[in-house]
């Protein structure tokens, strides 16, 4: 493992550019073209397209190195996970130019890599808990959900019969023995596998786990192929703060495309049979947000995404020193959506990646958060499920100071005052954002599936590790005199400025087998969703300016490379296709990544 700053710098020396970069980030067009051509697989990097992927990875390491000292978890040829970067960045602390020359790792890299290898089996497709953002010494992590009985035994059995099969990331005979597989009771195996997952979470000082799944367990052909922390019968994750914040899967974004890329008024159908995960947030996390969470099923896609982002920002801006994990099912659609929005929002406030320009942060989040973590853009484009485009087009909805972590910290430090407007408030008044006009409080509480006598019954092999989170926090405090605080938003939200042409909200039914086109019921605003925003005469805040620049750069490059595509018809329901769907559904084979 390359844990030293010198080793990391040497690996990217050839890719470091001199001078100021041009407005268009070099390689962004090439990145999007490669992204739209094939799905990233770590083991394929040595082929014909390997040189392109290597340039992308080196560029990411160089951009991370501008502001951070980091270690690297080696994943060459996808030995740990087939759809994770070959060089997984472990950010340790913010750094200056002088500190980069004297970098000393604060973690035991070899033990961290060993723990990652052991814990990967606990999660769907081997997509283990991976730290991707460092903010105030806290790790913001991503992963897939927990693997269920169907995937765990199905995948290990598949790898046992077909050695070196479709997904090498799961070929791990040391962690799952024949004795484990022979046990009809899942308890011993789950105790061992999930025990290592818990060890990794604690090593990263993660306390908050946000689950975006709309299901408690993912079911394919009557088999539970995945599970989740919130329904773990043995309550192994009871020491963590679990949040169930169900968010529509990538299939729903076919409706977004069919409505000419208009998210306003698009509501997910919560009455579908497979949707069984209620929204569940501990009360202490909702008291500072002016959101009525009981109305979440009536929110359109804009409101829902805004409110969930506010919640995540509130958690990471709290006084708590604990980290955050965000995951969906596979961790490559909904998860990068919120990870990317978090990274861009914090960057726009000047709180992370402080030296990166708009084109550079755009390149980093597209390449690292989406491409190198395995988002299947080729497949999603062929089906019209454009969640990737939605992410960056959505930046126009989070430009206000309402989403600013910087203003949150500033307001908490100011003395209490009346509810009147200050000169600063008047100067910052802009067009009202769509959001919730609701009251404080929540009637929801943490829901856990209980199993009598199961609590405390599991054991697992101890791994001697010093918590990385504590060391990271100590390093962060050396360069920061005080910890930024959170804020209580007491001022009521303005009323929503809905367009009069809209006759109300339309509830769109989302289904993997069928979808309805609502484009006849709505008209488009502007000539094209790819239209680059024009400069306005009114003065913009620095946050708004930065996010608008990122969005404009994305739209310009996206239109010249990928563009807006028509959805291809779904394959016929032939026997061969049904069997292929089953194989993919239980995780035995990856989705095809053939070019369009």
Residue 510's SS3 state is strand
Q: Considering 124, 328, 391, 427, which one is annotated as catalytic?
A: 328
d(CA 140, CA 133) in angstroms, rounded, equals 5
DSSP result, 59-79 = HHHHHHHTTEEEEEEE-GGGS
d(CA 508, CA 518) in angstroms, rounded, equals 8
d(CA 155, CA 171) in angstroms, rounded, equals 9
Residue 253's SS3 state is helix
Paired sense of beta strands 206-211 and 241-244, if any: parallel
DSSP structure class, residue 493: P
**By the 8 A CB rule, do 28 and 558 touch?**
no
- Within its chain, how far is the Cα of 512 from the centroid? 22
**By the 8 A CB rule, do 546 and 358 touch?**
yes
d(CA 226, CA 587) in angstroms, rounded, equals 10
d(CA 448, CA 229) in angstroms, rounded, equals 9
Closest Cα to residue 586, out of 210, 156, 228? 156
d(CA 415, CA 397) in angstroms, rounded, equals 30
**By the 8 A CB rule, do 521 and 506 touch?**
yes
Instruction: Count Cα neighbours of 484 within 13 Å in the Cβ-side half-sphere.
Output: 24
d(CA 478, CA 473) in angstroms, rounded, equals 9
Q: Counting Cβ atoms within 10 Å, is residue 515 exposed (0-12), middle (13-18) or buried (19+)?
A: buried
328 catalytically annotated: yes
* Secondary-structure percent of the chain, ordered helix, strand, coil, rounded to 5: 40, 10, 50
Closest Cα to residue 133, out of 397, 405, 380? 405
Closest Cα to residue 107, out of 561, 594, 473, 465? 465
Adjacent-strand bridge partners of 138: 135
Catalytic positions, please? 328
């Amino acid at each position: 493992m390359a844990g030293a700053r010198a080793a990391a710098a040497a690996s990217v020396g050839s890719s470091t550019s001199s001078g100021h970069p041009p407005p268009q980030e070099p390689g962004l067009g090439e990145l999007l073209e490669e992204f739209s051509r094939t799905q990233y697989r770590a083991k394929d990097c040595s082929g014909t397209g390997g040189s392109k992927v290597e340039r992308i990875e080196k560029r990411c390491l160089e951009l991370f190195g501008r502001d951070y000292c980091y270690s690297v978890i080696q994943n060459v040829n996808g030995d740990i996970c087939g759809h994770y970067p070959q060089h997984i960045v472990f950010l340790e602390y913010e750094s200056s130019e002088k500190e980069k020359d004297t970098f000393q790792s604060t973690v035991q890299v070899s033990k961290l890599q060993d723990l990652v290898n052991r814990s990967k089996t606990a999660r769907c497709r081997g997509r283990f808990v991976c730290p991707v953002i460092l903010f105030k010494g806290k790790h913001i992590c991503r992963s897939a959900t927990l693997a269920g009985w169907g995937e765990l035994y199905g995948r290990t059995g598949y790898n046992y019969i077909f050695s070196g099969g479709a997904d090498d990331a799961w070929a791990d005979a040391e962690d799952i023995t024949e004795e484990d597989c022979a046990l009809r009771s899942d308890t011993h195996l789950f105790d061992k596998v999930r025990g290592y997952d818990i060890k990794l979470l604690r090593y990263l000082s993660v306390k908050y786990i946000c689950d975006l799944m709309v299901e408690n367990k993912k079911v394919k052909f009557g088999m539970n192929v995945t599970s989740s922390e919130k329904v773990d019968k043995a309550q192994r994750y009871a020491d963590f703060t679990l949040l169930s914040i169900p968010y529509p899967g990538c299939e729903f974004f076919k409706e977004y495309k069919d409505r000419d890329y208009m998210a306003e008024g698009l509501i997910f159908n919560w009455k579908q049979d497979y949707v069984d995960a209620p929204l569940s947030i501990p009360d202490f996390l909702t008291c500072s947000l002016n959101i009525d969470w009981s109305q979440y099923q009536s929110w359109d896609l804009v409101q829902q995404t805004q409110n969930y982002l506010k919640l995540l920002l509130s958690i990471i801006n709290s006084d708590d020193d604990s980290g955050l994990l965000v995951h969906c099912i596979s961790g490559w659609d909904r998860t990068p959506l919120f990870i990317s929005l978090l990274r861009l929002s914090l960057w726009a406030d000047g709180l992370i990646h402080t030296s990166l320009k708009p084109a550079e942060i755009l390149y980093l989040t597209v390449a690292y958060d989406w491409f190198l973590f395995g988002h299947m853009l080729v497949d999603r484009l062929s089906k019209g499920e454009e969640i990737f485009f939605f992410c960056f087009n959505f930046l126009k909805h989070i430009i206000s100071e309402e989403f600013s972590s910087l203003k949150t910290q500033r307001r908490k430090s100011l003395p209490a005052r009346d509810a009147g407007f200050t000169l600063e408030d008047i100067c910052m008044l802009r067009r009202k954002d769509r959001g919730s006009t609701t009251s404080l409080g929540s009637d929801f509480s943490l829901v856990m599936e209980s199993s009598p006598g199961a609590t405390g019954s599991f054991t697992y092999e101890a791994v001697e590790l010093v918590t990385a989170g504590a060391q990271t926090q100590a390093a962060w405090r050396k360069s920061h005199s005080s910890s930024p605080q959170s804020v209580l938003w007491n001022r009521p939200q303005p009323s929503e400025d809905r367009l009069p042409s809209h006759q109300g909200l339309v509830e769109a039914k989302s289904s993997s087998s069928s979808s309805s086109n609502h484009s006849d019921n709505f008209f488009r605003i502007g000539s094209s969703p790819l239209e680059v925003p024009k400069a306005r005469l009114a003065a913009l805040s620095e946050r708004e300016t930065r996010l608008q620049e990122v969005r404009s750069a994305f739209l310009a490059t996206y239109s010249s490379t990928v563009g807006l595509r028509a959805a291809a018809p779904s394959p016929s329901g032939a026997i061969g296709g049904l069997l292929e769907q089953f194989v993919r559904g239980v995780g035995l084979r990856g989705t095809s990544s053939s070019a369009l």
